[in-house]
Amino acid sequence: MMMAKAYWVVSYRKVMEPEKLAEYSKLATSAIANGGGRILARGVAAFAHGAGVVERTVLTEFDGLQQAMSTFESEEYQAALKVLDNAVERDFRIVQGSE
């Protein structure tokens, strides 16, 4: 049986310090790759509806929930989060894919 993939779904509501976001992005991209993740989409939303905000959105795929969680909890990714600090307001979720 195939294990369901898992996704990091990140929507940025506000970016207060773009330079910190840029540094976080470099570190996070490395942590994600080292954790086996693949960034599928990254950029400003082309369309938003309802309570959506046309801001940066990132979608990252992992082979399974454990891999997604382990990458989030890794020292490398946690170091990236420390750099990000309070530079942004964002919504971060880990969602399992449909099998």
CATH of the domain at 53: 3.30.70.100
Q: Give residue 53's pLDDT.
A: 85
Residue 82 forms part of a structural domain: yes
pTM of the model: 0.91
SS (H, E, C) 4-72: CCEEEEEEEEEECCHHHHHHHHHHHHHHHHHCCCEEEEEEECCCCCCCCCCCEEEEEEECCHHHHHHHH
Residue 88 forms part of a structural domain: yes
Q: How many domains does the chain have?
A: 1
Q: Give residue 73's pLDDT.
A: 98
Dist CA 61 CA 94 (whole Å):
10
Q: Give residue 51's pLDDT.
A: 87
Q: Give residue 1's pLDDT.
A: 61
Residue 1 forms part of a structural domain: no
**Structural domain of residue 71, as residue ranges?**
6-94
Task: Please write the tens of the pLDDT for every residue from 58-96.
Answer: 999 999 999 999 999 999 999 999 999 999 999 999 999
Residue 50 forms part of a structural domain: yes
